[in-house]
Amino acid sequence: MCVCLCVCVSASIFNQRTMALQVSSFICILQHRFCCSASSRTATTKATATATATATAAAAITTTAPAPATVATTTTTAGARESDSFSYMADFLVDSLELSEQQALSASAKLTKLWQYRGTKVCRPNRYRNAHLVITFLRDKGLEKPQIQKLISSVPVILTCRIETNLEPKLNYFSELGSSVSDFADIILAQPLVLHYAMNSIVRPAIEDFREILGSDENVVRVLKRFGLKLTAVRNNLVRNVSFLRARGVPLETIQKRILLNASPFVRRHEVFKDKVAQVEVKWGISPRSAMYLLLIHVLCCFHERTIESKFRVFESFGWDRSLALHLFRRNPHCMCLGARNIKTKLSFFMNEVGYNPGQILIYRSLLCYSLEKRVMPRYLVFQVLQEKRLIKRNRSFARAISHCEDKFLGKFVIPFLDDVPDLLDMYVNSIKAATKAETTLASQE
């Protein structure tokens, strides 16, 4: 009997100690979870939080399974904390940078989503402290407030970057290339992944490879600002693609000029790029020595084969033989960059209104590349007026007049005839203004 009593007492003492240990452990966990937010509170608030945590821990241990209401309350509390963090960051961006409310909310939402995705354990005060340090760093380096506003509203992830290990080394490196802090900001705006790339394993090697191809640091900075290339793609694809072209006899100077105009096709996956080169040489019959070679590769890299086929069908619907359309595209690949609807509208005007046949359009192969509303039609209006008044001959080449620069066109077809047609210049200018206004209205509606 005594033995049983001793065993019961011992078990009771052991259970009490175990419960006390569990309570203490639970309290420590809760205190660690709330340490970041508690660091900014007063001592009274800390005491209240500890007492609440103790009561919650005791209730959790004495209850074998939490009730649904308890789970809902915990979830609601977590959501409230995230909501408070979201609102605080938005207010911080408005106060420190004078961002608009919409910009601040958008940037704060992106940052909150990023923190949730990363599952970061960085406490909230440190988040805001780092954001403040980044803004100060950018300001001290010479960025104006509008530039900082644009950078942070567009790429808010920069507020999470460490200055000593990320921003400062990269800014210094790009400064060595001859870029200003404004150039560095433009590079980040064009390709935010620059912030995530490791300096020694990605950034520096990629820039060195790029410099070897483009010939100068100035060209490297210019291309990165304009096209926002992924530096990993520069190393993995662009270097291989350029080597492939040089092996086929394309001069490096020609490749450099094309990259400066548009570098995007050169960072396509190497296997895809090789396939496009094969199409240019075999299907289209263009030699690497042709001036159209790289331009056609560019076009084929930018458009799917189905898209190109739809453009051939537009020409065929106007009575063109496919070989004629193919000949036009070979001589001026820019025509292939036009949308099918755009091609249809221009062919309708030149063939039905002006009366040109496919052969004439082939001779003046740039006709389809000019703006119909702002260039072709206003000049056609001038030609119609002059021909009706018999001031110019009807066989005067309208196609050649379209290719003239503005000053030359005015000097040959407008200014000399103002005595005979006083309102000719106003007519021409108003036609261009009307087309520009219509285009602006359409763009705003879209």
**What is the block-wise mean pLDDT of the chain (446 residues), using blocks of 10 residues?**
38 40 36 38 38 38 37 41 64 87 89 73 69 93 93 93 94 93 94 93 94 94 93 93 96 95 93 94 91 92 90 95 92 90 95 93 92 94 93 84 94 94 94 83 55
Cα–Cα distance measured from residue 369 to residue 27, given in angstroms and rounded to the nearest whole number: 73
- If asked whether residues 264 and 204 sit together in one domain, one would say yes
- Looking at the 3D structure of the chain, how many domains does it have? 4
Residue 47 belongs to a domain? no
- If asked whether residues 361 and 413 sit together in one domain, one would say no
Residue 187 belongs to a domain? no
Q: Which domain holds residue 122?
A: 82-160
Residue 64 belongs to a domain? no
Q: How far is CA 353 from CA 184, 350, 389, 405, in A?
A: 51, 6, 19, 23
CB 268 within 8 A of CB 237: yes
- If asked whether residues 349 and 277 sit together in one domain, one would say no
H-only helix segments in 155-292? 168-176, 181-190, 204-214, 217-227, 231-233, 239-247, 252-261, 270-278
Q: How far is CA 197 from CA 10, 166, 201, 267, 391, in A?
A: 61, 9, 8, 17, 66
Q: Looking at residue 144, what is its pLDDT?
A: 93
- If asked whether residues 271 and 307 sit together in one domain, one would say no
Q: Which of 236, 267, 294 is the last residue of a domain?
A: 294
Residue 73 belongs to a domain? no
pTM of the complete model: 0.70
- If asked whether residues 247 and 259 sit together in one domain, one would say yes
Residue 309 belongs to a domain? yes
Q: Looking at residue 4, what is its pLDDT?
A: 41
- If asked whether residues 375 and 287 sit together in one domain, one would say no
- If asked whether residues 280 and 263 sit together in one domain, one would say yes
Q: Looking at residue 96, what is its pLDDT?
A: 85
Residue 12 belongs to a domain? no
Say what the alpha-carbon torsion angle 56, 62, 64, 68 is, to the nearest 10 degrees: -40
Q: Looking at residue 165, what is its pLDDT?
A: 94
- If asked whether residues 237 and 325 sit together in one domain, one would say no
